[in-house]
């Protein structure tokens, strides 16, 4: 083989190896982008849930009033509270707890995540915001907006279902 032929063969092999390496690397880069997208989506969900919970906690102690008017922040009933808090975070909910129990996606109790709506009684007539660690942010009775442990006592026995409305 002459010198020119060897040089051309060397260049051809180098270009082939470079092209093959780039083709093999492309799927790994696409996979990494997908993993990053999934991680960003998870962060967005938890960020939205944290904002909902933070908004709700601003109203701790606000008095309970059955049939409180939509948008009234001097008193809430359970569903006007959730409707207001989620609405302040760009999520529109219907007015009653029964109606709210029909929106979003069903969530089994063992898969609850912060920001999920949790419902009580059968038929449903109470709703709260799941905070994580068995805690629910809601309003009822003399204490008004409060945090309760839904894994024990009355709240545990009367748990009905849950819905995820934060995507």
Phi, psi for residue 23 in degrees, rounded to 5: -65, -40
Residue 162 CA to residue 129 CA, distance in Å, equals 10
In the residue annotation, 147 being an active-site residue is answered as: no
Residue 110 CA to residue 37 CA, distance in Å, equals 26
In the residue annotation, 119 being an active-site residue is answered as: no
Q: Which of 49, 52, 78, 131 is catalytic?
A: 78
Q: Which of 112, 126, 127, 165 is catalytic?
A: 126
Q: Which two tokens stand for residue 109?
A: 């109790």
Q: In this structure, are residues 103 and 95 in contact, taking their beta carbons and an 8 Å threshold?
A: no
User: Residue 152 burial by CB count (10 A; 0-12/13-18/19+): exposed, middle or buried?
Assistant: exposed
Q: Which of 97, 120, 138, 159 is catalytic?
A: 138
In the residue annotation, 126 being an active-site residue is answered as: yes
Q: Which two tokens stand for residue 26?
A: 């492309």
Kindly list the catalytic residues.
Answer: 78, 126, 138
């Amino acid at each position: 083989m002459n010198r020119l032929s060897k040089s051309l063969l060397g260049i051809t092999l180098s270009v082939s190896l470079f092209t093959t390496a780039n083709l093999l690397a492309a799927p790994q880069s696409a996979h990494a982008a997908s993993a990053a997208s999934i991680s960003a989506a998870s962060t967005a969900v938890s960020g939205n849930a944290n904002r909902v919970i933070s908004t709700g906690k601003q109203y701790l102690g606000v008095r309970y009033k059955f049939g409180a008017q939509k948008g009234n922040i001097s008193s809430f009933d359970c569903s006007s509270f959730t409707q207001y808090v989620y609405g302040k975070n760009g999520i529109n909910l219907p007015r009653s707890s029964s109606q709210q129990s029909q929106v979003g996606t069903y969530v089994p109790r063992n898969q609850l995540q912060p920001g999920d709506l949790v419902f009580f009684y059968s038929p449903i007539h109470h709703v709260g915001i799941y905070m994580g660690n068995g805690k629910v942010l809601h309003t009822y009775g003399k204490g008004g907006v409060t945090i309760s442990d839904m894994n024990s006592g009355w709240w545990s026995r009367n748990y009905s279902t849950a819905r995820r409305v934060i995507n």
